[in-house]
Amino acid sequence: MDADMHEFQDSEELNQKCQRLEREVARERAARRAAEDMAEIRLRELYINQGRLELLNRIAGFANDSNSPTHALQFALNEICEHQDWPVGHALIRVDPGDDERLEGTDIWFSKHQDVAFPFLEASRKIVAWSCASAPGRLFLEHIPIWTPDIYAQHAFTRAPSAARAGLRASISVPVIMGHELVGAMEFYLTEAVQPSKRLMNILLQIGMQLGRVFKRARHADMLSKNALTDPLTGLPNRTAFESEIQSAFELEKRTSEYQTAVIYIDLDGFKLVNDTLGHSSGDALLTAMANRLRFVVETFDHEAWVDRVFLARVGGDEFVMLIRSPDVREVANDIANEIHKCLQPIHRIGLNDVQAVASIGVALNGPEYQNAQELLRDADVAMYEAKANGPEQTYHFTAEMRNTALARLDLEIELRHAVEISAFELHFQPIVSLSNRETVGLEALVRWRKEHDVLVMPDDFIPTAEACGLMVPINTWVLREAARSAVRFHASNSQNADLYISVNVTLQQFQQLHFVTLVRDILLETGANSKWIRLELTESTAAANPSHAARTIRQLNAMGIKVSIDDFGTGYSSLSYLQTMPFDTIKIDQSFIKRHSDKSADWSFVLAMKNIADSLGMKVIVEGIENEFQQTELNSFGCQFGQGWLFGRPQTEASILAETCPPLSESPHSAHMAFEEPK
């Protein structure tokens, strides 16, 4: 019995031991399985992460080599959707950064089953996502990927019907960021609401940043090409852009005869004066103001139904051009030119100065004779030149004769340059007399160009060209110096007339020189001429180009003892109001007001009006172009103090004036002109 009991107890213990061992083994097995599972999960995660990193690397690599946001977005959508097995991806772009905060749908998309998703993609293409309104719009604020588990729960999800038909349920919106700016977005749509891991969201964020670098590069390239086509001062297109615009117009005209093209060339007359007297920043301010006024004209006409296109560009310092396309281009060009003249008229306030800039306009209409843009532009320029020569504020249409004139002008310019080099000029002097007793009080110095031994060119035949090619400054400087020398000689030989003065004409170009007053003073010092012996004559347009500068300069000249007259008075286009501000000594009434006045039927009303103006401003009067006794008697009876004209003497050389004993060698302008025209 004892033995049996023992045996039983032993087997019981064995059993329990076995059970314990079995439990331990089971526990170990479970622990091992858990460890194995964990290892597998880690391995899988590692694998997944590895895959995502490779995805990021691939997209970053593509982005590095790309300048095209479109290509880079397409590549990223394909890669991400394929990698994640997402059915739909779509890109949005911020079309006009800096303006409204809105993303716009694009044609950049990925779809696993195109036929199913097509209506949804069509709707997405047209979508505009405003800031905050929906998931892609919220990216403006959040700048991180946004997970939307139920797209239909969103406020204003306009694409809901087509999304439902495609079986879409959830979405992930990924920002494309450039610095701190949202420039685009990718949206991915899922059929099941499986929330993406934080790690995936982080990778998507980094992909968005990589794509942002492509946008940055593209914007930079865009800016460079825009700079190449834009005038940096006014922001208008430049010459290159304009030429390519004409070229496109040419091509369009070849395809359709409905529209004709014209080019308008606009050159500002008062600009150089502003630049030289008020400095370059004032010049820049004037150009910018001008550009804005011209822009306004473009906007006005661009909206007209009969105008197809108006394109404005700046092609040079103060030169602007417009291309016009219209079925009735000649008329439209004239209307626009008139509008330009009108819009430039109001005075500009540049700093403390009032400035007026008027324009000369040339128009060239396209025709079969033009092969390229430059030719049309050149002829509009030629017409502008013609307008300037007949200016101010003129519009001329190009004609074939103008081309010949332009060529002749070019020849004249070459000859004139040579004439300036060798000082082939001479001064003739015309007396200015007191109308009461015909006593000579002064002499007007009038320049002539001794072209050849017996060919004398009159000023009207070369001054406009000299002015246009910048030669009037050296010519007038020569005139001023020679006049001062002559004054010294006259006074040395004619001691009875101690107040005799020489009046010198000054052109706009010379008057606008920064150191004009200094030049006059230096010439007086150099020649020994008394400042009372020299007077200056300015035309109305010279004075009106920049009234405040003119007033200042005249005051400085007055302070030196030099009196200034206003020449050809009454022929100018400007208002009289500026006259009050300018201390002119004398008004020279233009000869056109007394022309053909020879008997009692003569109408003196204009002359009297001008005499009244002079009286009220305390200025004296010289009447120009007096040719007969009747004119002298009448003008004298009106109280006009001085006169000038053939009646008292034609312009003659210094020698003939000095040789009192000799009969005056009067010069006939007509014969001099003939001599110029006669081939030698």
The site for Mg ion (CB under 5 A) is made up of: 505, 537, 567-568, 624
Measured CA to CA, the distance from residue 427 to residue 490 in angstroms comes to 14
> Shortest gap between Cβ of 467 and ligand C2E (angstroms)?
8
Cis peptide before 392 (omega within 30 of 0): yes
> Which lies closer to ligand C2E via its Cβ, residue 285 or residue 447?
447
| Interaction partner, residue 111 (Mg ion, ligand C2E, none; CB < 5-8 Å by kind) | none
Which of the ranges 25-33, 52-60, 69-77, 458-466 carries the binding residues for ligand C2E, by CB under 6 A? 458-466
> Shortest gap between Cβ of 305 and ligand C2E (angstroms)?
47
> Which lies closer to Mg ion via its Cβ, residue 505 or residue 531?
505
| Interaction partner, residue 476 (Mg ion, ligand C2E, none; CB < 5-8 Å by kind) | ligand C2E
Tell me the one-letter amino acid at 190: L
**Percent helix, strand, coil in the chain (nearest 5)?**
55, 20, 25
Q: Is 446 in the site for ligand C2E (CB under 6 A)?
A: yes
> Which lies closer to ligand C2E via its Cβ, residue 320 or residue 490?
490
Residue ranges of the alpha helices (H) in 197-279? 198-229, 239-255, 271-278
> Which lies closer to Mg ion via its Cβ, residue 353 or residue 631?
631
> Which lies closer to ligand C2E via its Cβ, residue 52 or residue 597?
597
> Shortest gap between Cβ of 550 and ligand C2E (angstroms)?
15
Rounded alpha-carbon distances, angstroms, from residue 32 to 19, 25, 41, 419:
19, 10, 14, 110
Q: Which of residues 459-498 bind ligand C2E (CB under 6 A)?
A: 459-460, 463, 476, 479
> Shortest gap between Cβ of 568 and ligand C2E (angstroms)?
5
CB contact at 8 A, 468 and 269: no
Q: Which of residues 500-519 bind ligand C2E (CB under 6 A)?
A: 505-507
Q: Is 632 in the site for ligand C2E (CB under 6 A)?
A: no
> Which lies closer to ligand C2E via its Cβ, residue 393 or residue 667?
667
Which is it for the CA torsion 139, 141, 144, 148, positive or negative? Answer: negative
Measured CA to CA, the distance from residue 187 to residue 42 in angstroms comes to 29
> Which lies closer to ligand C2E via its Cβ, residue 211 or residue 445?
445
Q: Which of 124, 171, 430, 531 binds ligand C2E (CB under 6 A)?
A: 430
> Shortest gap between Cβ of 667 and Mg ion (angstroms)?
16
> Which lies closer to Mg ion via its Cβ, residue 241 or residue 446?
446
DSSP 8-state symbol, 652: B
Measured CA to CA, the distance from residue 298 to residue 323 in angstroms comes to 10
> Which lies closer to ligand C2E via its Cβ, residue 80 or residue 420?
420
Q: Is 128 exposed, middle or buried (0-12, 13-18, 19+ CB in 10 A)?
A: middle
> Which lies closer to ligand C2E via its Cβ, residue 333 or residue 483?
483
| Interaction partner, residue 447 (ligand C2E, Mg ion, none; CB < 5-8 Å by kind) | ligand C2E
> Shortest gap between Cβ of 623 and ligand C2E (angstroms)?
10
Measured CA to CA, the distance from residue 201 to residue 92 in angstroms comes to 18
Site string for ligand C2E, 582-601 (x = CB under 6 A): ---------x----------
CB contact at 8 A, 92 and 106: yes
φ, ψ at 104 (rounded to 5°): -120, 140
Rounded alpha-carbon distances, angstroms, from residue 352 to 242, 289, 349, 549:
35, 15, 7, 11
Measured CA to CA, the distance from residue 489 to residue 530 in angstroms comes to 12
Q: Is 627 in the site for ligand C2E (CB under 6 A)?
A: yes
| Interaction partner, residue 553 (ligand C2E, Mg ion, none; CB < 5-8 Å by kind) | none
> Shortest gap between Cβ of 543 and ligand C2E (angstroms)?
14
> Shortest gap between Cβ of 631 and Mg ion (angstroms)?
16
> Shortest gap between Cβ of 577 and ligand C2E (angstroms)?
24
Tell me the one-letter amino acid at 481: R
> Shortest gap between Cβ of 280 and ligand C2E (angstroms)?
26
Q: Is 668 in the site for ligand C2E (CB under 6 A)?
A: no
Question: How many Cα atoms within 13 Å fall on the side-chain side of residue 554?
Answer: 27
Which of the ranges 272-280, 305-313, 353-361, 440-448 carries the binding residues for ligand C2E, by CB under 6 A? 440-448
DSSP 8-state symbol, 382: H
Question: How many Cα atoms within 13 Å fall on the side-chain side of residue 430?
Answer: 21
| Interaction partner, residue 136 (Mg ion, ligand C2E, none; CB < 5-8 Å by kind) | none
Q: Is 664 in the site for ligand C2E (CB under 6 A)?
A: no
For the chain, state the CA radius of gyration. 44
> Which lies closer to Mg ion via its Cβ, residue 277 or residue 505?
505
> Which lies closer to ligand C2E via its Cβ, residue 72 or residue 610?
610
State whether residue 324 is helix, strand or coil: strand
Q: Is 646 in the site for ligand C2E (CB under 6 A)?
A: yes
Q: Is 568 in the site for ligand C2E (CB under 6 A)?
A: yes
> Shortest gap between Cβ of 591 and Mg ion (angstroms)?
7
Per-position DSSP letters for 480-519, written without gaps between them:
HHHHHHHHHHHHHH-TT-TT-EEEEE--HHHHTSTTHHHH
Instruction: Produce one character per residue of 266-304: b if its CB has 16 or more CB atoms within 10 Å, e if not.
Output: bbbbbbbbbbbbbeeebbebbbebbbebbeebbeebeee
Q: Is 540 in the site for ligand C2E (CB under 6 A)?
A: no
Give me the numbers of helices (H) and strands (E) for the chain, helices first please: 22, 22
> Which lies closer to ligand C2E via its Cβ, residue 56 or residue 456?
456
> Shortest gap between Cβ of 309 and Mg ion (angstroms)?
46
Which is it for the CA torsion 444, 450, 454, 457, positive or negative? Answer: negative
> Shortest gap between Cβ of 540 and ligand C2E (angstroms)?
12
User: Which contacts qualify for 164-168: CB closer than 8 Å, 24 or more apart?
Assistant: 165/116, 165/119, 165/120, 166/87, 166/88, 166/116, 166/117, 166/119, 166/120, 167/116, 167/191, 168/87, 168/88, 168/120
Q: Is 204 in the site for ligand C2E (CB under 6 A)?
A: no
Which of the ranges 19-27, 280-288, 385-393, 443-451 carries the binding residues for ligand C2E, by CB under 6 A? 443-451
> Which lies closer to ligand C2E via its Cβ, residue 249 or residue 622?
622
| Interaction partner, residue 625 (Mg ion, ligand C2E, none; CB < 5-8 Å by kind) | ligand C2E
> Which lies closer to ligand C2E via its Cβ, residue 261 or residue 513?
513
Residue whose pair of structure tokens reads 């002097």 in the numeric block? 429
Measured CA to CA, the distance from residue 158 to residue 127 in angstroms comes to 9
Tell me the one-letter amino acid at 125: R
> Shortest gap between Cβ of 331 and Mg ion (angstroms)?
38
> Shortest gap between Cβ of 415 and Mg ion (angstroms)?
24
Where along the sequence are the contacts to ligand C2E (CB under 6 A)? 430, 445-447, 458-460, 463, 476, 479, 505-507, 537, 567-568, 591, 624-627, 644-646, 651, 669
